[in-house]
């Protein structure tokens, strides 16, 4: 095997042996407090995987819970010396298997590095450790009149480090963009334990290659993020939400196209299909309209949101909306947003297991994507609910199935692959915000092609020549 495929080196090292594991734990304990090193198999097994289905995971040799940069450096120096793989983890809310353990690895859980080190209203930056929970940061900066926009659906649980690792998005991306647009600088512990700083904390800066952006979305395969400088915005006014019902998903997608073509900039533009609406009602008894085929939520956080909602409501009616209902106040708006945030949890309750796709297409092809998903659901005789960041063209087709039924599980996996193929046919991408991980390795190769794959492996080799950082992920 060529050196550029170095991840196999880590796999070979992990094949081994109790002696390696014993030496590993001994070396780790030489530089870490005892409570930071977990070896009980029942405990370490709970760190084996994230929330993705159909993603294999291994048995970690040890779980380490560092509190300092020096702790992380000690782990990486030890792993390099012993040729042991390291799998970085945040809250394990990911949906692609990127945080899944490999056999004999060190799971490096960064959840205890959870300090907000600085909030600067003048520079409009926050400096945080990777274990800070997204919602915790959001609330902290709000107290300073500031706003951290990226808001994944799991924002009450997911960590900033995990958000950076997967380049996550969220509901507000249509106006404010994704995580990558808010990461100004990073401190990163490299595979050999060296500490590197990238980027800046200034409003502008173009010194050298943009290594900060390289680490965002790298899924822990290039280095361990131990500190992040994040851009903040002034806190916007409270948003108001409009709900529009449609007799077909294609009509709702037509409304999305009209809204974006008209130059409107909603703070949120989300879609839930009939299956998703029913699932949310069944779970939370929220009284959403189950007679509709698609529910479109639009929000504005402008100085006159009612006027903006009025204009968008008219466009929805022109596209065939059967009913358009603007929220009366912020509380009612928040209730609608809570319904959207519950979508994936609610769909999981339908059959007990889900495969959550993350295909993003050009907005102009959104209707084609949803129609194609309907055909796939019929072909495989499966329940597939769709919620979407419609303003971005980012769909989350969610295949609901009974994991105890082998035939249904097979059909679920085949439908998942067919949906990804459809996304590529429509000029889209296999992942808009969840990452590649284990789940989509084959599809990454299809999307970027052999030359692109060769270059990505070459970058990996520069930062991680032994292949010990999160081996088996991405490619």
The tokens describing 255, both together, are 């409304």
Please give the pLDDT value at position 20. Answer: 67
Classify domain 116-234 at the CATH class level: alpha beta
Spatial distance between the Cα atoms of 384 and 399, rounded to a whole number of angstroms:
4
From the list 176, 153, 342, 363, the residue with the least C-alpha distance to 252 is: 363
Please give the pLDDT value at position 4. Answer: 29
Architecture of domain 240-425: 3-Layer(aba) Sandwich (3.40)
Please give the pLDDT value at position 141. Answer: 98
Please give the pLDDT value at position 6. Answer: 35
DSSP annotation of 35 = G
Please give the pLDDT value at position 170. Answer: 87
From the list 84, 78, 80, 67, the residue with the least C-alpha distance to 28 is: 78
Q: List strands edge to edge, sheet with 37-38.
A: 37-38, 62-64, 106-109, 86-89
Residue 228 pairs with which residues in a beta bridge? Answer: 128, 186
Q: Which of left, alpha, beta for 320 (phi over 0: left; psi -120 to 50: alpha)?
A: left
Q: Domain spans of the chain? A: 3-110+455-463, 116-234, 240-425
Fold of 3-110+455-463: 3.30.43
Per-residue pLDDT tens listing for the chain (475 residues): 222 233 444 444 445 456 668 899 999 999 999 999 999 999 999 999 999 988 999 999 999 999 999 999 999 999 999 999 999 999 999 999 999 999 999 999 999 999 999 999 999 999 999 999 999 999 999 999 999 999 998 899 999 999 999 999 989 999 999 999 999 999 999 999 999 999 999 999 999 999 999 999 999 999 999 999 999 999 999 999 999 999 999 999 999 999 999 999 999 999 999 999 999 999 999 999 988 999 999 999 999 999 999 999 999 999 999 999 999 899 999 999 999 999 999 999 999 999 998 999 999 999 999 999 999 999 999 999 999 999 999 999 999 999 999 999 999 999 999 999 999 999 999 999 999 999 999 999 999 999 999 999 999 999 999 999 999 999 9
Same topology, domains 116-234 and 240-425? Answer is no
Residue 37 pairs with which residues in a beta bridge? Answer: 64
Q: Which helix (H) or strand (E) holds 345?
A: helix 343-351
Spatial distance between the Cα atoms of 266 and 173, rounded to a whole number of angstroms:
10
Please give the pLDDT value at position 278. Answer: 96
Please name the residue that has the structure tokens 């270059």.
455
Please give the pLDDT value at position 19. Answer: 64
Cα distances (Å, whole numbers) of residue 243 to 82, 234, 415: 57, 27, 30
Spatial distance between the Cα atoms of 156 and 158, rounded to a whole number of angstroms:
6
DSSP annotation of 364 = G
Buried residues in 15-47 as b, exposed as e (16+ CB within 10 A): eeeeebbeebbebbeeebeeebbbbeeeebeeb
């Amino acid at each position: 095997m060529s050196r550029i495929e170095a991840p196999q080196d880590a796999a070979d090292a992990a094949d081994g042996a109790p002696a390696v594991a014993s030496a590993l734990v001994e070396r780790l304990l030489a530089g870490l407090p005892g409570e930071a090193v977990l070896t009980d198999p029942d405990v370490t097994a709970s760190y084996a995987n994230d929330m993705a289905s159909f993603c294999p995971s291994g048995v970690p040799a040890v779980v380490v819970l560092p509190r300092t940069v020096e702790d992380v450096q000690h782990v990486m120096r030890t792993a390099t010396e012993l040729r042991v793989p390291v799998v970085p983890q945040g809250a394990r809310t990911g949906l692609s298997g990127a945080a899944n353990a490999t056999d004999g690895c060190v799971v490096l859980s960064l959840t205890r590095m959870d300090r907000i080190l600085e909030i600067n209203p003048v520079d409009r930056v926050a400096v945080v450790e990777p274990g800070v929970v997204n919602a915790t940061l959001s609330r902290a900066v709000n107290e300073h009149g500031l706003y951290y926009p990226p808001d994944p659906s799991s924002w009450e649980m997911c960590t900033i480090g995990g958000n950076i690792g997967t380049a996550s998005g969220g509901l507000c991306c249509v106006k404010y963009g994704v995580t990558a647009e808010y990461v100004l600088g990073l401190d990163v512990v490299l595979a050999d334990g060296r500490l590197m700083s990238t980027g800046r904390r200034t409003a502008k800066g173009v010194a050298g290659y943009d290594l900060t952006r390289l680490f965002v979305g790298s899924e822990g395969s290039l280095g361990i993020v131990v500190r992040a400088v994040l851009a903040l915005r002034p806190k916007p006014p409270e948003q108001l939400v409009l709900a529009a019902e449609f007799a077909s998903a294609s009509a709702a997608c037509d409304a999305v196209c009209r809204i974006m073509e008209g130059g409107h900039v909603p703070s949120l533009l989300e879609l839930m299909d009939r299956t998703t609406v029913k699932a949310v009602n069944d779970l939370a008894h929220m009284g959403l309209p189950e007679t509709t085929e698609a529910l479109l939520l639009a929000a504005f956080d402008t100085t006159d949101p009612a006027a903006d909602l009025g204009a968008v409501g008219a466009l929805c009616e022109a596209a065939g909306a059967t009913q358009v209902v603007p929220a009366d106040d912020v509380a009612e708006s928040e209730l609608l947003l809570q319904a959207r945030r519950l979508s994936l949890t609610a769909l999981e309750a339908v059959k007990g297991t889900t495969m959550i796709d993350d295909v993003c297409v050009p907005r102009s092809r959104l209707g084609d994507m949803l129609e194609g998903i309907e055909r796939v659901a019929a072909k495989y005789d499966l329940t597939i609910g769709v919620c979407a960041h419609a303003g971005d063209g980012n769909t989350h087709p969610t295949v609901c199935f009974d994991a105890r039924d082998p035939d249904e599980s097979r059909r679920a996996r085949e439908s998942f692959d067919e949906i990804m193929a459809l996304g590529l046919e429509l000029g889209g991408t296999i992942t808009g915000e969840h990452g590649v991980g284990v789940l989509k390795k084959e599809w990454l190769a299809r999307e970027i092609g052999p030359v692109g794959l060769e270059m990505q492996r070459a970058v990996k080799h520069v930062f991680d020549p032994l292949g010990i950082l999160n081996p088996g992920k991405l490619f």
